[in-house]
Amino acid sequence: MARKYFGTDGIRGATNAHPMTAAMAMKVGMAAGAHFARGDHKHRVVIGKDTRLSGYMLENAMVAGFTSVGMDVVLVGPMPTPAVAMLTQSMRADMGVMISASHNPFADNGIKLFGPDGYKLSDADEMAIEAMIDGDVALAPPEQIGRARRVEDARGRYIHFAKSTFPEDLTLDGLKIVVDCANGAAYQVAPSALWELGAEVVAVGVSPNGKNINDGVGSTAPQTLCETVVATGAQLGIALDGDADRLILVDETGRVIDGDQLMATIADGWARRGKLAGGGLVATVMSNLGLERHLAAQGLELIRTSVGDRYVLEKMRSSGYNVGGEQSGHIILSDYATTGDGLVASLQVLAELVRSGAPASEVLHRFDPLPQILKNVRFKGGKPLEDTTVKEAIAAAEAELSGNGRLVIRASGTEPVIRVMAEGDEAGQVEAVVDRVCEAVRKAAA
């Protein structure tokens, strides 16, 4: 059964338009609060947010929803998504909420929910909450209405946690690091943690005004970081997204380092020290074939999942892996966190950099990525991937790339778009294959 409100990462949309309205946020609070009201103890939810203007509106609406069903609320203000997950678990809350639309522009917002274990909700939990959103939720009697309070030391708790993941025998002394916080949730905690570990920190994207989150800064717009790293002579640049659950890095030459290279760097180092669980790592079908070949040369496996960090985490948990992520920079290190954590992942990469003593351009370039092309074909309706001509084009493309590359075709889960991705040893062949499949999809969708 398809979910009505929840997508691959919570509920998301343009604010003040369905479903991202104050009224819906209150209903989500009521439904989620009622769903997690288990046992006779006083129930509690941790609510964090990024720096979007609409965060105030949605936060207050969710407080009303949760307290109306008898749940106490702990407000931690602007905090990274992984910090909310960590605080939910460490404060023994019954659930956690992050109000954020991640890397989207400020006009969008979203609601991410975590269970008491700090993990994102299962499909079953989301379906149960959706059913309650559209139904009637019993309100608490007047004497059992919840209370709301702000915790002022939440930032300090997360900074302490993040620093604890960095090896005790190492420091960042002597390193100049540029950190771009996307004018988002980590604008205070990330520069502070890096500075306290000894780095000289140049901070950009740390002046949020409610409307400038991800605007020309952050992991989806790394040009500012690239220029700043080169101009300041920094050894490394770190760019987080709006809710700081993913990152990309920039080496001292201004070159962007994506999630595939970062996963390879961490996995190589952990494997050498006997810390890598499962004999490999988990990534999605979008990760470059170069990563897979690199790992194989080290005697390590690459396990692929569908696109979405939740699917990566599910595989990690079910099969015993402790490193996983996405090419886009969601890096999940389950020894430390229950979700992607850009700051914690950057600290593990920095540990490898410090140990090696070599420049980032050498340490972080683990393999040469194969030519990879992704094109989108928009369609108005129907199921073009079920068309016979499209199936034949896909089969022919797969046969042509067999042994020399990969073809990944999928329908977007958020918009009427077919995504066609291919990679292989020959750039011209890859582009020709993608173009032929896209043309077949366009004709079928016409």
Q: Which residues pair with 12 in a beta bridge?
A: 110
Using CA atoms, how far apart are residues 317 and 282, in angstroms rounded to an integer? Answer: 10
Look at the block and give the residue holding tokens 């050894």.
235
Cα angle for residues 334, 336, 338 (degrees, 5° grid)? 55
Same domain? 251 vs 276: no
- Residue 232 backbone phi and psi in degrees, to 5: -95, -5
Tell me the residue ranges of DSSP E strands in 166-311: 176-180, 200-204, 236-240, 247-250, 256-257, 280-284, 301-305
Q: DSSP states of 361-419 as a string?
A: HHHS--S-PPPEEEEEEE-SSS-GGGSHHHHHHHHHHHHHHTTTEEEEEEE-SSSSEEE
Specify if 42 maps to a domain.
yes
Q: DSSP states of 93-154 as a string?
A: -SEEEEE--TTS-TTEEEEEEE-TTSSBPPHHHHHHHHHHHTS--PPPPGGG---EEE-TTH
Same domain? 144 vs 165: no
Per the structure block, which two tokens stand in for 121?
């909700």
Q: Which residues pair with 13 in a beta bridge?
A: 109
CATH number at residue 426: 3.30.310.50
Amino acid at the residue 202: V
- Contact (CB, 8 A) for 418 and 384: yes
| Total number of domains in the chain | 4
Same domain? 136 vs 43: yes
Specify if 359 maps to a domain.
no
Q: Give 193-240 pLDDT, tens digit per residue.
A: 999 999 999 999 999 999 999 999 999 999 999 999 999 999 999 999
Per the structure block, which two tokens stand in for 270?
């952990």
Range 269-280 burial, b when 16+ CB lie within 10 A, else e: bbbeeeebbbeb
Same domain? 251 vs 265: no
Same domain? 52 vs 34: yes
Helix axes of 22-35 and 123-133: crossing angle, nearest 10 degrees = 120
Length of the chain counted residue by residue: 446
Domain-terminating residue out of 104, 120, 152: 152
Domain-terminating residue out of 302, 321, 354: 354
Per the structure block, which two tokens stand in for 15?
């604010």
Q: Give 126-154 pLDDT, tens digit per residue.
A: 999 999 999 999 999 999 999 999 999 99
Domain-terminating residue out of 305, 320, 354: 354
Find the domain containing 207 and state its range: 157-255
Same domain? 267 vs 227: no
102 given a catalytic annotation: yes
Using CA atoms, how far apart are residues 26 and 424, in angstroms rounded to an integer? Answer: 49
Same domain? 387 vs 316: no
Same domain? 236 vs 329: no
Per the structure block, which two tokens stand in for 361?
């351009």
Same domain? 431 vs 337: no
pLDDT by residue for the chain (446 residues), tens digit each?
567 899 878 999 999 999 999 999 999 999 999 999 988 888 999 999 999 999 999 999 999 999 999 999 999 999 999 999 999 999 999 999 999 999 999 999 999 999 999 999 988 999 999 999 999 999 999 999 999 999 999 999 999 999 999 999 999 999 999 999 999 999 999 999 999 999 999 999 999 999 999 999 999 999 999 999 999 999 999 999 999 999 999 999 999 999 999 999 999 999 999 999 999 999 999 999 999 999 999 999 999 999 888 899 999 999 999 999 999 999 999 999 999 999 999 999 999 999 999 999 999 999 999 999 999 999 887 889 999 999 999 999 999 998 889 999 988 766 789 999 999 999 999 999 999 999 999 998 87
Specify if 283 maps to a domain.
yes
Using CA atoms, how far apart are residues 236 and 137, in angstroms rounded to an integer? Answer: 51
CATH number at residue 18: 3.40.120.10
Specify if 267 maps to a domain.
yes
Compute CA distances 397 → 59, 66, 389, whole Å.
49, 52, 12
Specify if 360 maps to a domain.
no
Q: Give the active site residue among 54, 100, 102, 219.
A: 102
Specify if 362 maps to a domain.
no
pLDDT for residue 1: 54
Same domain? 398 vs 426: yes
pTM: 0.92
Specify if 47 maps to a domain.
yes
Same domain? 239 vs 296: no
Specify if 277 maps to a domain.
yes
Same domain? 306 vs 218: no
Closest residue by Cα to residue 31 from 12, 11, 52: 11
